[in-house]
Amino acid sequence: MRTPEPHILMTGLVFGESPRWHDGRLWFSDMSASEVMAVDLAGQSEIVARVPTLGLGFLPDGRLLIVSMRDGLLLRRERDDSLVTHADLTSLARHPWNDLVVDGRGNAYVNNIGFDFPGGAFAPGSLALVTPDGVARQVADGLAFPNGMAVTPDNATLIVAESYGDRLTAFDIAADGGLSNRRVWASLGGGHPDGICLDSDGAVWYGDVPARRCVRVREGGEALETIELDRGCFACALGGADRRTLFLMAAEFPTAAGMAGTRTGQVLTVEAPARGAGWP
């Protein structure tokens, strides 16, 4: 099934990533511009932090976590807008850190690409857990370019996109935040999942950059809806007043060099068939 045509909410971005709906606005990283931004449904936006970032997430008390991807730091934005170090990840991996998800207990999962992207030879990536008190440890490895992540509403399952594995992979989450029972949640038959989000029907939306689309799949891999775009779709999020607005982060990306290119990035919106679920 194909969904309605998306509407343009915002233009002029370089490379938008990691959208998160919080407190009436969409928060996201403009990665190549090293900016964290927020935009409302009327298109009014502001820069809320300047950090070489990708992943974002919100603690249960509303404070923002930011992955400083090449510094190996997980930063926390305090009530006075200052940035402090929530966790130092440098001892766990030396390659760039990527996306982030926070569960309902305040545990943060951060993934490491595993190699120098773009340009470096491929090597498997890993997943780190940062507990609410800032203690970090590795909880998974051997992931083929780990990317977008989502946690189910019961805090029981973590789903991670393996962009180079053409699959979504799931783990059971233990009481201490550890991961077990790794399994293929959906094999995507050549799809390259980037950012993902979870809906109330238990389906996952994933952005696919080379295919220029966003796809909704159920567990097992059946495609339910497809949104075709004129540029790569890097990430998606469900939000809005009823959490039925699907936000798409799109940009032209013909080659890896496009990350430093012109401002072709957009935030698009489309009405979704099911409301958002899980943790941002």
Q: What per-residue confidence (pLDDT) applies to 52?
A: 85
Q: What per-residue confidence (pLDDT) applies to 134?
A: 95
Q: What per-residue confidence (pLDDT) applies to 70?
A: 80
- Half-sphere exposure at residue 243, Cβ-oriented, CA atoms within 13 angstroms: 16
Q: What per-residue confidence (pLDDT) applies to 120?
A: 83
d(CA 49, CA 41): 20
Q: What per-residue confidence (pLDDT) applies to 69?
A: 83
Q: Are 74 and 86 in contact (CB under 8 A)?
A: yes
What are the Cα distances from residue 264, in Å, to 72, 88, 250, 260, 267?
28, 33, 8, 11, 10
Tell me the per-residue pLDDT of 50-59, one tens digit each, with 9 for 90 and over: 988 889 999 9
pLDDT band per the 50, 70, 90 thresholds, residue 3: low
Question: For the CA atoms of the chain, what is the radius of gyration?
Answer: 17
Q: From 74, 70, 100, 77, select the one nearest 86 (Cα to Cα).
A: 74
What is the value of pTM for the model shown?
0.95
Residue 1 maps to a domain: no
Residue 240 maps to a domain: yes
pLDDT band per the 50, 70, 90 thresholds, residue 257: very low
Residue 123 maps to a domain: yes
**CATH number, domain with residue 258:** 2.120.10.30
Residue 29 maps to a domain: yes
Residue 46 maps to a domain: yes
Domain count, the chain: 1
Write the DSSP string, 141-179: EEESSEEEEEE-TTS-EEEEEETTTTEEEEEEEPTTS-E
Q: What per-residue confidence (pLDDT) applies to 261?
A: 60
Residue 105: pLDDT above 60?
yes
Range of the structural domain that residue 149 is part of = 7-277
Q: What per-residue confidence (pLDDT) applies to 54?
A: 85
Tell me the per-residue pLDDT of 9-41, one tens digit each, with 9 for 90 and over: 999 999 899 999 999 999 999 988 889 999 999
Residue 2 maps to a domain: no
Give the long-range contacts of residues 211-217, CB within 8 A, separation 24 or more: 214/246, 214/248, 215/188, 215/191, 216/273, 217/168, 217/186, 217/188
Q: What per-residue confidence (pLDDT) applies to 33?
A: 87
Q: Are 270 and 4 in contact (CB under 8 A)?
A: yes
Residue 106 maps to a domain: yes
Q: What per-residue confidence (pLDDT) applies to 64?
A: 97
Q: Are 182 and 191 in contact (CB under 8 A)?
A: no
What are the Cα distances from residue 104, in Å, to 24, 107, 153, 158, 206?
19, 7, 8, 12, 22
Residue 176 maps to a domain: yes
Tell me the per-residue pLDDT of 124-173, one tens digit each, with 9 for 90 and over: 999 999 999 999 999 999 999 999 999 999 999 999 999 999 999 999 99
Looking at every residue in the chain, the average pLDDT score rounds to: 93
Q: What per-residue confidence (pLDDT) applies to 116?
A: 87
Residue 279: pLDDT above 80?
no
